[in-house]
Structure 1
Amino acid sequence: MSGRARAATAGANRLQIRSFLGVCSGLLCCGLLTAPCLGAPPPGSDADPKLTPETVIQRLQEIEAVTLQIDPQTPLQTRTPRLVFSLGNVDQLVAIVPPTDRIRYVALELIAVNPTAEAQTLDVESVRLRSGGQLLRWQDRHSKINGMHFRVGEHNRLVRDTEIPDALSIPAHSAVSQWLVFSGLEVGPFVPDLTLEVPGPDQTLSLDVRQFERGVLKLHTERWGPADCLAVLTVSGELNSVNAGSLVEELDRLCQQGIVRTVIVIGPQAAPISRTIADWLIQWGQEASYATGFRELPPLPTMLLERRVVFLQSNAAGVANDGPTLEEAVSQSLESAFSRVDAETVLQALRGENAYVRAAALQHGAARLDAGHLPALARLLTAPQPEVRLAAIKALGQFGDAEAISLLVSQVKSSEPSAAETATRALAASGFPAAHRALQELIQTGISLPPQELVRILSLNARPTWEPIILELAQTGESKVRQAAIQALTRLGHPQLVSVLEQGLQSSDDRVREEAFTQLVNLQTRESDDLAIAYTLERLRTAPPSAAMHQFLERIRDPRAVPLLVPYLDGPDGARRTVIDLLAKIGDQTVAAELAARYDRLSDSEKVQTLQALTLLDSDQGVELALRSLRSEDVTLVQNAVQVVQQEGTDVVVQNLHDATLALRGRTGVSAIGHLCTGLGAIGTPTAQQALLDLRDTDDEAISRWARQGLQVLWNQSPAHDLVSLADVKIRFVERLQQTTGSTDEMQPPNEAGGADRQELMDTQLQLAERQLDAAAQLDDNLPELSLQKGKLLKLRGDQDGAVRELEHAVELNDELLEAHVELGQVLADLERFDQAIPHFEYAFEHDSQTQKHQTLTAWALALVRHGQLEEALDLIRKYAEQLPSNAVFEYNQACVYGRAYEWLRKDSEVPQDDPRLAVFAEEAVRMLKEAFDHGLAQQTGVADMHEFMRNDPDLKSLHGVSAFRKLAELDRPPEERTPPMPVPEETLPNAPFQPL
């Protein structure tokens, strides 16, 4: 049954009549859900009930009654002459979609009831949502939220699954529901106003969603404690992300009244709340400031110094019951209040009917009372509430009067275990000797409390009076009592402790011996360690080491234990595993020989342990055994064997890893392949790289895939990697400098000084990059990124043939290095080797990430244009433009494609000057440029003067004769009247520059 139905139907067998309004709030990154989308609830479940007019009206009346109590002057609008409307559950969600959009949307299920004898029609097409001064239509829902979800009871439902008709027929005496989704609501840490405007047959109804949901909340506020200083807010309905705003408003109201103590209670009849709402409350109750992870929810006030949240129900959010109980929350909140009041105020609270306040008064205000108030405390010992009775017993422990002690003694003898235990604690913790004597007499005459509990209580209230009692129990008690007494003596630091522990080691009871040994080794003194090692060596002659002995021997590392442990290598499996681990930590090369001799007889898991042990012992035999294990069927053993042999990294090891991988050819789902290839990558030698390249080129898909990953591991740890990265920064800087205009002072490379001469600055940067690449080649000349950067550098210097050689080598080494494919495609296109260039663009586009595809697409299209394939290029752009994320750089680059297409037509002597395509291409280029400017091109690229950039862009040079372009680029304006460069924040000037194609 859904959460709201639980709140509505507690104790009654009636149908749930509410449906669901999901104003979804929660944070999604890049369109990915923060919670799993569970889909719609199954048909026929309680979360999808069959509605009847009677149940809808009954539920609606309950909600209307609550809202009228809150604001009698503003009744809910839910009825028209022929239709009645209701709503359901609420959940907010704000989607974050690339690159930076945040979209708040609301999904709601509108329930319409037709109480008349004739069918009615609801004009769904005209339903609107008024919010933040906007009138929103569901037809204008943003397409980017289609993959998002909203909450439906305890399930999630996808937005795209919402089908909305233009009209909805409602049969006579029936109720129907319809989901609606609106987007475009104002985004921020608040609940926006939400008014649903529904056209009925006779009039348009305005349904205030926030007011409706305030009624659903069923929030009740009470004032407890001295001077009504504590506000207790109880939720008996459903708390969701719309009426969360109502909860915050109530807390703000209390703050304005000077309240600083608050307890929020999610009552036992409340509907299950979402995980987000639960975390929002819990973090507010625990932290000193507003948690920033809930910006889409209204901030809860932090000026409340004492704030706690209590969950009295098991709810769907899976909130753990590790928070305070209501009794604990009230007691903690009122502690500071009762510690400052006089005795009369405490007595007044004790005379009250609120059990939680009475318990808090006893716990924190009893120090204000004197012996004259004992009769009042005595009466509370028979209170009907157990929390009051136990608090009264604790309070009596603060008195040393005979009457108080007599009352405690009577409670120790009580048949109620909790009362007896509490009274015993009170006597033991008392600061009065008379109380201690009374407890001592009770112990001597017999006490109903379990002995081990008595020992624990006495040890926690250490006094000389109790030590003889505990000492006697440690020596003569039954097993559990002796264990507890030994622990107590350890906590007390009793002077006879070592003697008692030594006596315990001789006990015939295994549990007593183990407890004595554990406490002995924890002392870590010379005397205790001598006793412990003597006992351990003696026990090892007849039994394998216990867990406590294992830890002790690890610390003490006594070589005398080694020969006693070796025979257990031939013992039962469980003991053998423990001994292998221990010998690895305290043994020597003789142990290595013993382990190696038994290796073939061990189980796979024990072989794993043995390899790890031999590594710890620094034994050469570990590598030999690991090489034999590379072809094991046990994946964990293979993984550990690889870790051992990769430390050697010899050609023999590489050959074994290569051959073991090939031996798995044709096997599916074998994760050992990944460990073998990763091991080769970690070795990182030229021989290992060649082995991985050989494996990459096999016809086995799994081996090839893992070999690629192994190569990536190898390249990432290459010693040349950092130098190549430094060169990359300089090469990208030069690429950008070639494409931009303006002062070189605006374009300084990181940590470099630059002169005023642009060409000199570029030459300097390329020389520095060349020296860094040469140095990198001395370290690793088979790094794909090295060949990529060499190719880019040669391209910048005009050596196209040399660039092709380097870029082809980069692709040969790593055919997944997509930037190398794009660069190679561009260079081949520059050389008019178009048939060779196009496949590289196609490959890069197919495998590139969604956010980078547009760069590859426009480079590909430009190559086609230069090849004379204008229609193919423009078809390519049109085909994929709708599918790719829109941004200003993509729009600018599309304009460049149209600019080159325009240039091609102008240069083609067979194309007439009045060819209509010329006008179309020019118009499209200008339109895309305008859109790029509107969408923040300067901010996205870090280019301050985009007008000057556009005027100098060779891809757009052919448009200089087009009036619309001249106006946009300000070609006809004098320099002093042109748009000044825009200030660009430093964070938009990255090492990876803007690269229009």
Structure 2
Amino acid sequence: MIRHGRTLLLVVILSLLPGLIRAQDTPEASPAPEANPKVEMQELQSRLQQAVGRLNKVEQELRDLKLKTADFKTPPGQIPTDPEKQQLYLQLEHPYYGQTNASNNQRIKFFVANLTCLNLTEKPINISSDSLTLTVDGTEYKQVEDPKKLRNQAFQSEGQMFQLQKLSLLTNLTIQPGSARSTWVLFNELPYNQSVPDLKLTIKSDNHPPFEFSINEAAERRLDVAIEQIGPRKSLGLITVNGIVDNLSIGSLVEKVTKLTENRISRFVIRFAETGSISDASLQNWLLAQAQSAGSNAVTQLQAYPSFPVSIRELHIADLPDLDNHRTRSRTATNGTRVHATTAEAVEEALKSVYENLPRNELVEEIKTGHPFTRVVALKHGGARLMDDQLALVIDLADADDPAMQKAAIYALRHFNNETAFLKLEDLVRRNITGLSGLAIDSLAASRFGEAHQRLLSILNNEPPESKTEFVKILSQNPRPIWSETIYQFLTEETDNDYHSEALQALNRIGHPQLLDVLEKSLQNRDEEIQRIAFLILANRNDPESETLALNYTLQHLQTDPPTPEMHELLIQTKSQEAIPHLLPYLEKRNPERRNILRTLAQIGDQNVASKLTEIYPKLDTQEQAIALASLWELSSPAAVELSKQALASNEHSLMRAAINNLIEEGSEEAVALLIKSFEESNNPTSINYLLSAMEQLRTPEVKASLQRASLQGDRNKQRRAYEKLLIIWNSSPARQYLQMASLKMQEDDYEEALTDFTKAIEIDPELPTAWSGRGNAYLKLEKYKEAKDDFQKALVHDPRDQMAITGTALILVRQDDPEGAFAMLEKKEHFFEDGQLNTNYFVYNSACVYGVALELLRAKAGTEEAPENLESIAEEYETKAIEALRRSITNGFDELDWMRKDPDLNSLHDNEEFRKISDWPAAG
């Protein structure tokens, strides 16, 4: 029995081998049979494809089960005798080709999969990480040695989440003859590619030739698509996914679509069979986005998946799988009109414009012999172009057994101005057939022929009142003057409220002499929805009578209930003073509408309202106080300033933000002064952040002066934040473009031309410190020290922390033989440039230049009367300080070593060994 069981198991596995990837022997897929033009054959083929899809799913599940439980030892003699069948077979489970970021923040790819290997050779096969390679477009990659380096990288596959660092990766795996074993493999740092490249796994073995497996072919098998070309001139590609769409098989799907576009196919429907699924949420979202953007010529950002061709005009998705359970289906259309609950709906949306313009002879042929999906679309959307000689065909189809064709035919009959068509529709209306009679009413109502309307009215006038409801609903959807009296009678006589709202809206669009009377009566209806619709109609009309009716209804409503959102709009529009006494009582107690009432009162109120708001302010919650404060500013209440002071001093962030926003919007001198005072007095980090953001927006001279004061004294963090805001303000100066042009010329050593641009920047914005210090630097390069010093001093007036002005002035002092004055200036400003602070790297580098120049000038005095007695010790001190400053510059991010080596201000350090190390001085020779 045991031997017999093993034999059966082996037979089952061998029977499924064509569904696996086989090394060195991959059979080509057999071509699909040509489609039979007969409708019956097409229907049969469609059903067969669905059945095959279900069988394939069962086969796949069986294959998975067999491979996972196939760790058995095959007795001698049961290994296939045919050498062609003595192979290593591989199944991919949870394959994933994803993207991540490398250490340099560059995007890279990784490939991971769970492999099940079946050995049908006569010898054991040993697989190790060294013997396994992944080839990506011809380049080989080895498996990841330590997945923990990938940190928290995870991927989703078929409803499961996997952490890469937790996977048990392949180390050594021995597969005995007739056995199957599974393991995870992972390859990282693969080249980034939006498309799916050619991917192959190669397994080397000592006692076998290399086994090579195509991952792309495996992905295509997992996708398992069927392709049909249907519709007029085979213009629609209908792609049925029977397998799984993952981020490997998506490459195959895009490739198949691309090949169809090369044959001038530009409309597609991708539908999922019962066995079809999508592997993860991000891929599903991408697919939906591709459908939505098809035909829009929208430029999309580079994505992780290959894009469909831009030549696609229509891309629709049908029978979308549910990610939580692949065996269920989403039956509700989502994401607009490109995602549909059924294939029929998708095909209709994709082809309806085609049938509206198709030559009539082709249209008739499509209706008669087209694909089951497209016949319905052709009849429904091409019906307007049919002639009377096709009416018999349409009427026959209205009596067909196919419900979809019946409905399409009834829809098409609206386009015929023919007695026979009218009689057929009348007959369907009178027979009261569920699902069809309503459609017949709609066809008569929507017809462009007056005869159809008269016939429908004739039927309607003979109906009892209780039977008119369905008629009125349809008439309301097709408003025409001819229905006016009928709808009016319905509204005045009908006791049932069904479709009353729709009828009101239709009568409003059509017009009727007694419309205002109907609307006034509807305001008293017991149904609140009817009241609401009547009120909305009145509130949106422009005549005084309608406005008066709506306002009176609102005032009556306010006696018992707070206003609705629509009533708020009306009160603000009319500035109704009569409403104020009704609104104020609602402020006394907490209620859901109190915030909106506060906003409305701000729009329609006066100083009496402001006094009331000030009185109840302490009773309001924080959010309500924020709204009340804005209202008080809106009403120009003197209390707004004092309450804003309290809000700024509070710990309630939302109230604080509201006060600041009000002050920004107010923008008066008083408001700006209050913001500045609050900023200068505050030590609360959160409050400081909010106030700094406000000051950045205002940018008045007073604001900039306050920020400059804060950047020079007090709390170090507050200093830093204030200076950062100043930099943002300066960087947005209108003179910025001239600064940029000047900087480029400075890099090219064109100092004279740079002076022109710096001067233009100063003319545009005389308070811009970088314009002054930039021009000062240009003068310094031209050795015009007086002009340079004057400009540096102007820069320091506007920005005492300008590192270029500080170090530039120090350089000039050194060259004017005042090194002590230069060093004193550096020491005085050094506290602004502690390690890690803004511009520290350049400040300390330029300080090194100051010491370097001082050292060079000092050594030049050697042997002269000007040489100090302790020249050597002073020189050693200068050299030491210069080297220390250079070290700090490197520590703080200065990396321009090439310039450091050739900077003339550092020539005096070239023989210093430490300088050579710091500057990465090239070795001799």
TM-score past 0.5 threshold = yes
Structure 2 counterpart of 1:269: 275
Q: CA deviation at 1:811?
A: 6.1
Contact 2:793/2:805 (8 A) holds in 1: no
**1:788 is the counterpart of 2:803:** yes
Pick from 592, 608, 619: which aligns with 2:637?
A: 619
Quick one: structure 1 residues 772 and 455, their matched pair in 2 at CA, closer, same or farther if it must change by over 3 Å? farther
Question: 1:219·1:234 contact (CA, 8 Å) conserved in 2?
Answer: yes
The answer to whether the Cα contact below 8 Å between 1:521 and 1:529 also exists between their aligned partners in 2 is yes
SS for the counterpart of 1:684 is helix
Taking the aligned partners of 1:491 and 1:671, their CA distance within structure 2 comes to 54
Judging changes above 3 Å, is the alpha-carbon distance between structure 1 residues 609 and 713 closer, same or farther for their aligned structure 2 residues? Answer: farther
1:578 to 588, 596, 601: 596
* 2:484 is equivalent to residue 457 of structure 1: no
Counterpart amino acid of residue 845 in structure 2: Q
1:435 to 436, 446, 452: 452
Find the aligned partners of 1:96 and 1:752 in 2 and give their Cα distance: 45
Give the aligned partner of residue 251 of structure 1.
257
Equivalent residues in 2 for 1:204-219, closer than 5 Å: 204-219=210-225
Alpha-carbon distance between aligned partners in 1 of 2:345 and 2:266, rounded to the nearest angstrom: 17
Q: Which consecutive residues of structure 2, in runs of 5 or more, have no partner in the other structure?
A: 1-15, 22-60, 71-81, 761-776, 853-877
The corresponding residue for 1:126 is 131
In the TM superposition, what is the alpha-carbon distance from 1:373 to its structure 2 partner? 4.4
Which residue of 707, 715, 724 corresponds with 2:726? 715
Q: Which residue of 1 aligns with 2:837?
A: 818
Report SS of the residue matched to 2:584: helix
The alignment status of 1:603 with 2:621, answered yes or no, reads yes
TM-score (norm 1): 0.66
Q: 1:43 maps to what in 2?
A: none
Judge conservation of contact 1:452–1:485 (CA < 8 Å) in 2: no
Distance 1:157 1:901 in 2: 59
Counterpart of 2:130, as a letter, is E
Does the CA contact (< 8 Å) of 1:92 and 1:150 recur in 2? no
SS in 1 for 2:278: coil
Contact 1:627 1:645 in 2 (8 A): no
Partner in structure 1 of residue 781 of structure 2: 762
The 8 Å contact of residues 414 and 420 in structure 1, kept in 2 or not, is answered as yes
- The match for 2:290 is 283
Pairwise CA RMSD of aligned residues?
Answer: 5.2
SS in 2 for 1:113: strand
Q: Secondary structure at the match of 2:782?
A: helix
| Aligned equivalents of 2:758, 2:883: Cα separation in 1 | 42
1:364 corresponding residue in structure 2 = 381
Alignment of 1:387 with 2:404, yes or no, is yes
Shift of 1:614: 0.5
2:765 is aligned to none
Change (3 A) 1:345 1:287: closer
Code of the residue aligned with 2:804 in structure 1: it is Q
Distance 1:645 1:709 in 2: 24
Question: Corresponding residue for 2:34?
Answer: none
Q: Would the alpha carbon gap of residues 594 and 493 (structure 1) be closer, same or farther in structure 2, given more than 3 Å must change?
A: same
Offset at residue 303 of structure 1 (A): 3.6
- 1:445-492 Cα offsets, whole Å, 9 max, x none, are 448998666434313323332110111233343445443222112212
The residue number in structure 1 matching 2:230 is 224
Amino acid at match of 1:130: T
String of CA shifts for 1:341-361, please: whole Å, max 9, x gaps. Answer: 566654544444843112112
Deviation at 1:389, TM superposition (A): 2.6
For 2:227, what is the secondary structure of its paired residue?
strand
State the one-letter code of the partner of 2:290: Q
Identify which of 110, 117, 120 aligns with 2:115.
110
Q: Secondary structure at the match of 1:293?
A: coil
Q: Unpaired runs of 5+ in structure 1?
A: 1-13, 20-48, 59-76, 663-669, 698-703, 834-861, 909-917, 926-954, 964-997
- Tell me, what secondary structure is at the counterpart of 1:125? coil
Report the 3-state secondary structure (helix = DSSP H, G, I; strand = E; otherwise coil) of the residue aligned with 1:177.
Answer: strand
Q: Quick one: distance in 2 between partners of 1:249 and 1:581?
A: 57
Pairing 1:566–2:584 present: yes
For the 8 Å contact 1:92–1:105, the answer to whether it is kept is yes
> 1:755-800 deviations in whole A, cap 9, x for unaligned?
xxx987833899888776655655x456x4xx32322432554657
C-alpha distance in 2, partners of 1:168/1:368? 69
Within 5 Å, give how 1:541-556 maps onto structure 2.
544-556=562-574
Q: CA deviation at 1:137?
A: 3.3
Structure 1 residues 208 and 367: alpha-carbon distance in aligned structure 2, compared to 1, 3 A threshold:
same
The amino acid of 1:514's aligned partner reads R
Letter in 2 for 1:582: T
Contact 2:225 2:243 in 1 (8 A): yes
Aligned partners of 2:162, 2:266: CA distance in 1, in Å?
40
Distance 1:770 1:419 in 2: 93
What amino acid does structure 2 have at the position aligned with 1:794?
Answer: T
- Report the secondary structure of 1:262's partner residue: strand
In 2: Cα distance, 1:829 partner to 1:312 partner: 68
Q: 2:301 aligns with which of 285, 293, 298?
A: 293
Paired residue secondary structure (2:141)? strand
- Give the deviation of 1:525 after TM superposition: 2.6
Matches within 5 A, 1:697-708: 707=718
Tell me the percent identity. 22
The separation in 2 between residues aligned to 1:375 and 1:602, in whole angstroms, is 74
- Whether 1:312 and 2:320 are equivalent positions in the alignment is yes
- CA shift at 1:400, angstroms? 3.9
Q: Which residue of 1 aligns with 2:200?
A: 195
Q: CA deviation at 1:560?
A: 4.2
What is the CA-CA distance between 1:632 and the residue it aligns to? 4.5
Residues 55-101 of structure 1, C-alpha deviations (whole Å, 9 max, x = no match): 4699xxxxxxxxxxxxxxxxxx9998464222234444455658795
Paired residue type of 2:509 = R
Q: For residue 208 of structure 2, give the secondary structure of its aligned residue in structure 1.
A: coil
**Counterpart for residue 248 of structure 2:** 242
Following the alignment from structure 2 to structure 1, what is the Cα–Cα distance between the partners of residues 255 and 753? 51
Instruction: Tell me which amino acid in the other structure corresponds to 1:123.
Output: S
Amino acid of the residue matched to residue 516 of structure 2?
Answer: V
Map of 2:66 onto structure 1 = 54
Per-residue displacement from partner, 1:942-967 (whole Å, max 9, x unpaired)?
A: xxxxxxxxxxxxx58x769x22xxxx
CA distance in 1, matches of 2:590, 2:754: 72
Q: Secondary structure at the match of 1:573?
A: coil
Q: Tell me, in whole angstroms, the C-alpha distance in 1 between the residues paired with 2:745 and 2:157.
A: 55
User: 1:178: which partner in 2?
Assistant: 184
Letter in 2 for 1:790: A
User: Where in structure 2 are the equivalents of 1:519-538 lying within 5 Å?
Assistant: 519-537=537-555
SS of 1:466 mapped into structure 2:
helix
- Over 3 Å counting, the alpha-carbon distance change for 1:469 and 1:866 in structure 2 is same
What is the alpha-carbon distance in structure 2 between the residues aligned to residue 894 and residue 104 of structure 1? 39
What secondary structure does 1:618 align onto?
Answer: coil
Distance in structure 2 (CA, Å) of the matches to 1:507 and 1:283: 48
Q: Secondary structure at the match of 1:203?
A: strand
Asked whether the equivalents of residues 132 and 202 of structure 2 are also in contact (C-alpha less than 8 Å), the reply is yes
What is the letter of the counterpart of residue 420 of structure 1?
A: S
CA distance in 2, matches of 1:718, 1:129: 53
2 CA distance for matches of 1:864 and 1:383? 102
Structure 1 residues 689, 599: closer, same or farther in 2, change over 3 A?
farther
Residue-by-residue CA offset, 1:937-994 (whole Å, 9 max, x unaligned): xxxxxxxxxxxxxxxxxx58x769x22xxxxxxxxxxxxxxxxxxxxxxxxxxxxxxx
Q: 1:89 to 1:449 in 2, by over 3 A?
A: farther
Letter in 2 for 1:823: Y
How far has the Cα of 1:338 moved from its partner?
A: 3.5
CA gap of 1:99–1:807, structure 2 versus 1, over 3 A, is farther
